[in-house]
Amino acid sequence: MGVTLDLSRAGAVTPVRPNLSGLTRPALAAALVDAGVASPEKARMRAVQAWRWIHHYGVTDFGRMTDIAKETRAALAEHFRLDRPEVVERQVSRDGTRKWLIRMAPGVEVETVYIPDVGRAGALCISSQVGCTLNCTFCHTGTQALVRNLTAAEIVAQVQVARDDLEEWPSPKEDRRLSNIVFMGMGEPLYNLDAVADAIDIIADNEGIAISRRRITVSTSGVIPEFQALGQRTQAMLAISLHATNDALRDVLVPLNRKYPIAELMAAVRAFPGLSNARRATFEYVMLKGVNDSPAEARALVQLLKAIPAKINLIPFNPWPGTDYQCSDWGTIEAFAAILNRAGFASPIRTPRGRDILAACGQLKSESEKLRASARRSTALPPDA
């Protein structure tokens, strides 16, 4: 009985063809050999060809790989996929910010946000997980349970979707609109480092999407044990979500601080591979009214970062339904920034972007889920219709 059942279940599962967009160069060559699409001798050459079509031209159809023999293209299509995930919703803000709700699989949706005039030309804010296991008290994503880690293909797909919409294929070397990538969407990238590192290898490759590692920033709430691996494997830029200058407060705002307190965090940043005045760490500091925004805290921040090549990014708090926090007054934020500037820190205030389409930091996903839910309610359909 049990055996019959097992067999029938095995028969019902169609093996999923892997999406080639998520394979690094060596993995791509190996996959072609494993699938019998290329001989071990020809695998590297085939991988170079396929790579260019996928990551330089952005093709989603094996049929367009015109320098690859027809039979080989057919074999590729039989074993692999190249399609994009579904874009469920696309919004453009008055300020030019674009947001896509992307469905990776049923129930696995992420939001990706493009912000023009940030970095060299424009930055794409991408997600590494659906939901988050950490519970930073000011973050809306933190109120959602982790659904799952994204795969490398799903991380790369966010860049591809943005490139499709910005009409940036073949991948331009100059005059590009998408010039920077920040892992500041949903999730804690250092809890999904394997996929994040593979995705960075793919995105940074010079014969493809070609976004330099120096223009890729990974933001973490402070998962210290992964810092060395992050630096060594990705050579990406580091951003730390600091938000407080003493452990008592940071314990509350970023509960991971109880495990990795500020002194240890600072030591880990100092030891981050490749940190220098030309490659500074960014410290993110969310401005919460009456919580962490006093002049004394600005001075404490200066003391804390004195010996570190650092930039500070002040983020006005973006409120969400149900939060007790409020954004600091503009004058308070400016006074805070002035203290940092006087001490020699570049400390731009991150102007909230895309608030009209709920694309600002900490407003991602659940907010639009709520809106969709209320839209469903207003059409008076049963919830699962």
Query: Would you tell me which residues interact with ligand SAH (CB under 6 A)?
Result: 136, 138-140, 184, 188, 219-221, 241, 284, 286, 315, 317-318, 361-362
136 interacts with ligand SF4 by CB under 6 A:
yes
Q: How far is the CB of 125 from ligand SF4 (least distance, A)?
A: 12
Residue 31 vs 281, nearer CB to ligand SF4: 281
Minimum CB separation from ligand SAH for residue 220, in Å?
Answer: 5
Is 136 assigned a catalytic role?
no
List residues bridging with 114 in a β-sheet. Answer: 98, 124
Count residues binding ligand SF4 (CB under 6 A).
11
Cβ 301 vs Cβ 245: under 8 Å: yes
Main-chain dihedrals φ then ψ at residue 234, nearest 5 degrees: -115, -25
Residue 142 makes contact with ligand SF4 by CB under 6 A: yes
Question: Which of 111, 226, 284, 297 is labelled catalytic?
Answer: 111
Cα distance between residue 28 and residue 51, in whole Å: 8
Q: Say whether 108 sits in a helix, a strand or coil.
A: strand
Binding flag, residue 58, ligand SF4 (CB under 6 A): no
Name 111's bridge partners.
101
In whole angstroms, give the CA distance from residue 20 to residue 23.
6
CA distance 377 to 373: 6
CB nearer to ligand SF4: give 137 or 341: 137
Name every residue whose Cβ is closer than 8 Å to that of residue 184 and which is 6 or more positions away in sequence: 125, 126, 217, 219, 239, 361
Helix axes 295-305, 330-342, angle to 10 degrees: 30
CA distance 223 to 233: 16
C-beta neighbour count of 36 within 10 angstroms: 10
Among 50, 65, 139, 178, binds ligand SF4 (CB under 6 A): 139
CB of 273 to ligand SAH, least distance (A): 19
Question: Nearer to ligand SAH by C-beta: 97 or 241?
Answer: 241
CB 236 within 8 A of CB 212: no
Does 382 sit behind a cis peptide bond, omega within 30 degrees of 0 on the bond before it? no
Choose between 29 and 130: whose C-beta lies nearer to ligand SF4.
Answer: 130
361 part of the active site: yes
Q: Which of 134, 242, 268, 275 binds ligand SF4 (CB under 6 A)?
A: 134
Nearest residue (CB) to ligand SAH, 221 versus 234: 221
Give the one residue of 21, 180, 221, 366 binding ligand SF4; rule: CB under 6 A.
Answer: 221
β-sheet bridge partners, residue 105: 108
Q: Which of 132, 139, 327, 361 is catalytic?
A: 361
Provide the minimum distance between the beta carbon of 241 and ligand SF4 in the complex, in angstroms, as a whole number: 6
Please list the active-site residues.
Answer: 111, 361
Residues that bind ligand SF4 (CB under 6 A): 132, 134-136, 139, 141-142, 187-188, 221, 241
